[in-house]
Structure 1
Amino acid sequence: MNVVEDNPAQHRFELPIDASHEVAAAYYRMDGDQVVLTHTIVPKRFSGQGLGSQLARGTFDAIRSSGRKVVLLCPFMAAFYARHPEYADIVATETQND
């Protein structure tokens, strides 16, 4: 199992996909100390293999370990959270600038 890593230079969490040198990515922007997840991409040829869920779980775990909160603007990440309420402790209901 590959590990999700934060790539702050690209503003995304990345999940490497085998030896293909491709990544599944969860894009974000920072709002103070909150991570605002905006968009998730899994290369089409890898869809249906559970990579999106693996990316989501790794992203949520990385945010939790950083002590930050997450805002879910990305529909995929919001749907993942709806199925995994164990991440309620890190989900913010609005951005800090609201």
Structure 2
Amino acid sequence: MSDITVRHNPERSRFEILDRGNVIGKAAYQDYDGGASPQRIFYHTVINEEYGGQGLAGKLAAVALDATVQAGTGIVPVCPFIKKFVAKHPEYSDSVVAVAPAHLEFLETALASRARA
């Protein structure tokens, strides 16, 4: 497991976890600027099935959330995994922004336009 790394891939709006350079999971987000300050809506986290049960989703989430906080960006936890993760890790509580209907509408529109592209 020493070849496991996490990287930010802003061009694809996601953080990726890799094994020997191959993407084995991701935490997808959409940046949102409709709030009082910049926010990042995390909407999907997944680890390839064969890598399950190794704590990799938690490692991915920690790196993604730490980078988001360091950037001064709020965390909007739409993804069920990220929502549970921030609930278990109070160090993120000052950066968590409650999910609002505006976030969901923005996310739906953004993902639909990305699907058409």
The TM-score, its normalising length taken from structure 2, stands at: 0.74
8 Å contact from structure 1 (residues 31, 97) kept in 2: no
Q: By percentage of residues, which structure has more helix? A: 2
What letter corresponds to residue 61 of structure 1 in structure 2? D
Residue 95 of structure 1 deviates from its aligned partner by: 5.0
Contact 2:24 2:51 in 1 (8 A): no
1:12 is matched with which residue? 14
In structure 2, the gaps of 5 or more residues are: 104-117
Q: Show the 5 A alignment for 1:6-85.
A: 6-17=8-19, 19=20, 21-32=22-33, 33-85=38-90
SS at match of 2:44: strand
Q: How many equivalent residue pairs?
A: 97
Question: 1:5: how far off?
Answer: 2.3
Q: Give the % identical residues.
A: 33
C-alpha displacement of 1:94: 3.3
CA distance in 2, matches of 1:72, 1:50: 19
Q: Is the alpha carbon distance of 1:30 and 1:13 closer, same or farther for their aligned partners in structure 2, counting shifts above 3 Å?
A: same
Larger C-alpha radius of gyration, 1 or 2? 2
1:30, distance to aligned residue in structure 2 (A): 1.2
TM-score, normalised to structure 1, is 0.87
**Matched residue, 2:114:** none
